[in-house]
Amino acid sequence: MDVALYTHVDMLDHRPGDNHAERPERLRAVIDALEDDGGLDLEPLDAPLVEFADLALVHPQDFIDSVLDAAPHSGTRALDPDTVLSAGSLTAARRAAGAVVAAARAVAAGQRTRAFCAVRPPGHHAEPATAMGFCLFSNIAVAARAAQAAGLKRVAIVDFDVHHGNGTQATFEHDPSVFFASIHQSPLYPGTGDPSESGVGNVANAIVPPNASRETWRRGFEGLMARVDGFAPELILVSAGFDAHVRDPLAAQSLEAEDFAWATRAIVSVANRRCGGRIVSSLEGGYDLEALGRSAAAHVKALQEG
Ligand code: ZN
């Protein structure tokens, strides 16, 4: 299966600070790992700038305006202790959202079946009216709305980042046309995502404790995928964070790159059975550069082979 790779060098110019975990080198590590993997044959495409009208599918206009107004011309400006803007951040954030929207539209139009978006800043903590957790705009949520507008009405979002995708959940928890499935460590930032949070029956949260075994994580993920399968989506979007890797400094899970390949194969299996294999995956977290690169390459290879 061909996999389109949406990315752009402008996303290296989002610079939240020298000591910030969400640093430009992350994107470089992912791109280098994808290029160095001889088994990958990706079609690279420029991530476009998202249109403001597309952001408005999820975000209120006054929130969009407030982010635009907050962007500094030089230096940095903090929206909260984690979420910091530099001069290049707005362009980066527009390309991050624009990548996932473009990929979703290409898939909805039947031009492609599968895509990986190597983007930053990440998006899954951004709520409709709140930027937080390194995230400015909700890349995956905006893409889900764009896909629906283009005809793919039932969209499932699988989030295996080690942190709960509170922004994605907040966007869709009252909307039965979107299913949101997240596995995450608890307790951990942002503190949401208890299994009792089930939306209108369209939200599935699986939690793993700190230092959970790989087997425990896989059991939790299998339960989520059974729910996604039962939803019978027309498109699967993936919030692909790789910070459940054993080497990651921001969490305490035990996964190896192979576990992300295994999880990806499970997603591919549902996509092939339910929706013609349609998957758009977007990078979220992952803060150990070596683990991030290896894990992203394993994920994309499983997207390609499945
Ligand atoms: Zn994360």
DSSP string, 38-86: TT--EEEEEPPPPPHHHHTTTS-HHHHHHHHHH--SSSEEESSSS-EEE
Instruction: Determine the pLDDT at residue 173.
Output: 98
pLDDT band for position 124 (cuts 50, 70, 90)? very high
Tell me the per-residue pLDDT of 30-41, one tens digit each, with 9 for 90 and over.
999 999 998 999
Q: How confident is the model at residue 99 (pLDDT cuts 50, 70, 90)?
A: very high
- Over residues 247-257, the mean pLDDT reads 98
Annotated active-site residue 73? The verdict is: no
pLDDT digits (tens, 9 = 90+) for 188-208: 999 999 999 999 999 999 999
Per-residue pLDDT, 82? 96
Q: Which of 59, 124, 125, 164 is catalytic?
A: 125
Q: What is the mean pLDDT of residues 231-236?
A: 98
- What distance in angstroms lies between residue 8's CA and the mean position of ligand 1's atoms? 21
Q: Say how many Å lie between the CA of residue 159 and the centre of ligand 1.
A: 10
Q: How many residues are present in the chain?
A: 306
pLDDT given for residue 137 in this prediction: 98
Centroid of ligand 1 to alpha carbon of 167 (angstroms) = 12
Cα of 109 vs centre of ligand 1, distance in Å, is 31
CA of 243 to the centre of ligand 1 (A): 6
Sorting pLDDT into bands at 50, 70 and 90, what band is 87? very high
Interatomic CA distance for residues 21 and 130, integer angstroms: 20
pLDDT on residue 47: 98
Residue 98 Cα to chain centre, angstroms: 13
Residues 235-264 have a mean pLDDT of 98
d(CA 163, ligand 1 centre) in Å: 4
Query: How would residue 279 be classed by pLDDT, with cut points 50, 70 and 90?
Result: very high
From the CA of 246, how far away is ligand 1's center (Å)? Answer: 13
Q: Which amino acid is at 40?
A: L
What is the pLDDT at residue 134? 98
Q: What would the mean pLDDT of 215-237 be, rounded to a whole number?
A: 98
Quote the pTM value: 0.98
Element housing 106 (H / E): helix 89-108
Contact 274, 111 (CB under 8 A): no
Mean pLDDT to the nearest integer, 97-114: 98
CB contact at 8 A, 132 and 190: yes
Mean pLDDT of the chain: 98
Q: Percentage of residues in the chain with pLDDT exceeding 70?
A: 100
Q: Please tell me the predicted confidence (pLDDT) of residue 112.
A: 97
Average pLDDT over residues 47-55: 98
